[in-house]
Chains A and B, each alone.
Chain A
Amino acid sequence: MSGPWTPINFTVNGEGRTVQAPPMKRLLDVLREDLHLTGAKEGCGEGECGSCSVRMNGELVNSCLVPVLQAQGAHIQTVEGLALNDTLHPLQEAFLACGGAQCGICTPGMLMAAVQLLENTPHPDMSEIREALAGNLCRCTGFIRIFESVVAAAAGSPKSKDEVHHAR
């Protein structure tokens, strides 16, 4: 049997949106195909890689594993919602300054996981950073520059690599 398309009303990056979608359509696909927010990426489609990470009602989720019906009424934040007009989020600045992004596929998810971490734990230690980002895979950086980016953002301003090493 086929499911009837359902109107989904939710807030995406602070803006009320309505889409018509099959209720089992993945939140990731609704964001990318219906709302043209292509920041969240599909890596594995299994909740292993984190490249589709977004925030739903203030918690980090893998948007490839959320049927859109379960996002009914939710507040969704994607990487597109981080910068304010032309002003980048401090984590985005830090990723730029510290070389936290290379090919960029993991970066939107990595940023959302880092935003989640710093909201709960403004001054994380390295083990907290590692745990918070453990579900986000990067095949370019070797992770160290990403961890340094988070340390720099938590310290309040993007720092050079040497300063970050000193802080660790």
Chain B
Amino acid sequence: MRGNAEVHALIAPGSLSAVLELLAAEPGKWTPIAGGTELMVAFSAGRLNAPKLVSLWGIPDLSYIQTHQQSIVVGGATTFLDLRKNAAIATELPLLAKAASWIGSVANQTRATLGGNLVNGSPAADSSPALLAYDAEIEMTSVRGSRRIPYSEFHTGYKRNSLASDELLFAIHIPRRFARHKQYLRKVGTRRAMAIAKVALAGTALLENGVIREIRLGAASLAPFPVRLKEAEAALLGQTVTSETVLAARRSLSAEVKPIDDIRSTAEYRRSVAANLLEEFLLDLPREGSQP
């Protein structure tokens, strides 16, 4: 089965306001398309269920990286190439820069967008664990106005999210307060390039004299959508890193994740490796009495 271009409408209004007007006029009827790295795959295979598409490519209001005093704001249709080239992202948000380098190949990074990665909502999304660990917020916009929610609340089910039918993912807000945090990100896949994650884990932790004062863990491919590992976080908060706390955190993680068997891996492998990744992160944290 091959896609037939003639059965799909595609328009490029060229401005954010024109796109929002269109979404408001016919809620749910228009499918936004940015770089097409997901939707065009479905199109080529003849399984794109989107009669009417509206292009977000090249709209300046959706493609930018702004550094504010408290946060770095990334427009929804900013490409992973733009993220990789940005100095503030590279120095302050190294986990996001690393995740951006994992997105497919060069030719995918020039077109794939951060907002597209999140709206697509793959459980294995490369950018998600880092954004969860960085406590990012999602700004959604429509003709009715804008609203912000924690990214950890954006996904609501497998390939489901909080966007209303007239809303666009407008921007991703990432707080600039992780300079003193220990940061970790590792993806386990079949091949270094181009492979979808069997499991990925990101972490940020702030320690005072060996005690974990703040910790966030974001995971991919361990649930129907990318998730914070709140039980494992709770097991670690206020603790020092000892063999006992590592074991307790491993147990909490194993209990809260919901991995599946699929073509890429097995639930048991994913659960074990996720716990190993967490342990790797924890064992690299500064111990009591050591310099942070």
Contacts and interface: CB of A to CB of B under 8 A. Distances in A.
B43 A24 contact: yes
A24 B3 CA distance: 10
B170 interface: no
A136 B45 CA distance: 20
Contact of B106 (A1, A56, A60, A69): A60
A116 B10 contact: no
Contacts of A164: none
A67 B43 CA distance: 10
Contacts of B194: 48, 134-135
A147 B107 CA distance: 18
A65 B8 CA distance: 15
A62 B108 contact: yes
B10 A24 contact: yes
A24 B8 contact: yes
Interface string B83-123: 00000000000000000000011111011000000000000
Contacts of B55: 67, 69-70
B19 to A, nearest CB: 14
B63 to A, nearest CB: 13
Interface string A48-68: 101001001001111011110
Q: How big is chain A's contact interface, by range?
A: 35 or more
A113 interface: yes
B278 interface: no
A47 B10 contact: no
Contacts of A41: none
Contact of B7 (A2, A21, A26): A2
Nearest to B50: A24
Interface stretch (B32-40, B130-138, B150-158, B231-239): B32-40
A116 B106 contact: yes
Q: How big is chain B's contact interface, by range?
A: 35 or more
Contacts of A2: 6-7, 9
Interface in B42-67: 43-45, 51-53, 55, 57-58
A135 B36 contact: no
B193 interface: yes
Interface in A1-46: 1-4, 21-26, 29, 45-46
B36 A134 contact: no
Contact of A45 (B5, B6, B45, B104): B45
Given A48-B194, A72-B12, A22 B6 contact: yes
Given A3-B6, A70-B12, A26 B44 contact: yes
Contacts of B149: none
B40 A67 contact: yes
A14 B116 CA distance: 32
Contacts of A66: 36, 40, 111
Contact of B107 (A1, A24, A70, A113): A113
Interface string B182-214: 000000000011100000000000000000000
A64 B108 CA distance: 11
A1 B11 CA distance: 13
Contacts of B255: none
A86 interface: no
B110 A25 contact: no
Contacts of A97: none
Contact of A59 (B45, B110, B193): B110
B283 interface: no
B10 A69 contact: yes
Contacts of B11: 23, 69
Interface of B: 3, 5-12, 33, 35-37, 40-41, 43-45, 51-53, 55, 57-58, 81, 104-108, 110-111, 192-194
Give the 7 A-B residue pairs with the shortest CB-CB distance, closest first.
A135-B105, A134-B193, A22-B5, A3-B9, A45-B44, A23-B10, A65-B40
Given A2-B6, A4-B9, A60-B106, 14 more contacts: A3-B6, A23-B10, A47-B104, A59-B110, A66-B111, A70-B55, A113-B106, A131-B193, A134-B192, A135-B104, A135-B105, A135-B193, A135-B194, A136-B105
6 contacts: A22-B5, A24-B3, A50-B105, A62-B108, A65-B36, A65-B40
